[in-house]
Amino acid sequence: MHYGLNSVAPMPVSPACGEPVLGIKGLRLQIGDTAILHGVDLAVHEGEAVGIVGESGSGKSMTWRAALGLLPKGASTSGEVTFAGRNILATAEHDLEGIRGRRIAAIFQDAASALNPIQRVGSQILESLRIHRSLNGAAAKAEMLRLLDQVGIVDAANRSRAYPHELSGGQNQRMAIAMALAGNPEILIADEPTTALDPTIQAQILMLLKRIQLERAMSVILISHDLGAVAALCNRVCVMYAGRIVEDAPTAELLSKPEHPYTRALIASIPPLSGERKRLQAIGGEPPDPRHMPKGCAYAPRCSSLSEECKESIPAPVCLRGSHSIRCFTATRALGLAP
Ligand SMILES: Nc1ncnc2c1ncn2[C@@H]1O[C@H](COP(=O)(O)OP(=O)(O)OP(=O)(O)O)[C@@H](O)[C@H]1O
């Protein structure tokens, strides 16, 4: 679904100051012989909602999976991922269990797959409360009902006795969110949480995430191919292309002053919600195959602002103003910031 950029509510001022809750620096991921992530930098501060947007295969999911040490077979990482004073990439697997799922929780596109099909949803949430917070009996039940109420499940006591197949996609996603919240996480990662849902339900789930994020002052990382959805929830947007973050800016600034040609193309491809209907511009060409990356900027083969330099070298991130950075030779030169 597209929300239209003019539907975006004003974001609270980004609380991005001080030490980040999650700090990703120079994260590289290699699967077999193929480099997938080429030095991703991402800082998520307390109470901040950060969006990662980009086309399919750009490395959005791999970024958070690699950051949490959830690697596919044959994969290796380098770089630094700091959470709660430790480098996750250097932390033993058994020590990560207290972090993953509890202090950093995740929800996915397919909510039903996060839930056990043969167990009532309420008892699954009770189990999470027991594992993550040692809650049992009446206290656990009261907390489970409070969580269901918080995620907007009507008639929570009755609905908690349902099996996942008896619930709609939207209700299952609400249940999955309640499960994720059971450990009182500091960070919630939402990986395409609305993609499988009907348009009206998508908007409801996004608004729910935004309400919960603000109520709990929780950090959220929203992964999406839909810039409109990211803009509706996030204070800050990171645009990802071929395993690199190519633009990182506060949402309002990214939408009003996009600098990277890829970000501009993404914005141009979103339909306006109202006003004059105009033809959408599809982004021409395909993202590169990670096994055959171009020598220079990965976006060069599709870029309309190309210079010779772009074909030869990979642009480093340049800070434009405040917390707005881009990787683009042409844009930085046009802004008078090229070396
Ligand atoms: N298990 C794997 N083995 C090898 N390559 C993989 C594996 N999983 C993902 N990749 C590759 O890593 C790259 C990044 O994938 P990733 O899933 O992070 O993309 P994405 O931006 O999240 O895309 P999507 O929106 O389609 O999920 C892709 O080229 C993908 O083919």
DSSP state of 306: -
Residue 3, pLDDT score: 44
Q: Is 140 helix (H, G, I), strand (E, B) or coil?
A: helix
**10-residue block means of pLDDT along the chain (339 residues)?**
41 56 97 96 96 94 95 94 93 89 92 90 97 96 97 96 95 96 97 90 94 96 91 95 97 95 90 59 86 95 92 94 92 85
| Token pair for 155 | 């008639």
Question: Ligand 1 pocket, 37 CB below 6 A?
Answer: no
Question: Ligand 1 pocket, 60 CB below 6 A?
Answer: yes
Other CB atoms within 10 A of residue 5 CB: 18
Residue 279, pLDDT score: 59
Alpha carbons 153 and 3: distance in angstroms, whole number: 24
Residue 11, pLDDT score: 40
Residue 223, pLDDT score: 96
Residue 187, pLDDT score: 97
Question: Ligand 1 pocket, 133 CB below 6 A?
Answer: no
Decide if 19 contacts 203 (C-beta within 8 A).
Answer: no
Alpha carbons 98 and 96: distance in angstroms, whole number: 5
Residue 24, pLDDT score: 97
CA distance from start to end of the chain: 41
Picking from 42, 41, 50, the residue whose alpha carbon sits closest to that of residue 14 is 50
**Sign (positive/negative) of CA torsion 262, 265, 269, 274?**
positive
Alpha carbons 56 and 283: distance in angstroms, whole number: 13
Using a CB cutoff of 8 Å and minimum separation of 24, what contacts does 157-160 make? Answer: 159/121, 159/122, 160/120, 160/121, 160/122, 160/125
Alpha carbons 110 and 113: distance in angstroms, whole number: 6
Tell me, in angstroms, the distance from the centre of ligand 1 to residue 52's CA.
Answer: 14
Tell me, in angstroms, the distance from the centre of ligand 1 to residue 236's CA.
Answer: 23
Residue 2, pLDDT score: 43
Tell me, in angstroms, the distance from the centre of ligand 1 to residue 67's CA.
Answer: 14
pTM more than 0.90: yes
Tell me, in angstroms, the distance from the centre of ligand 1 to residue 130's CA.
Answer: 34
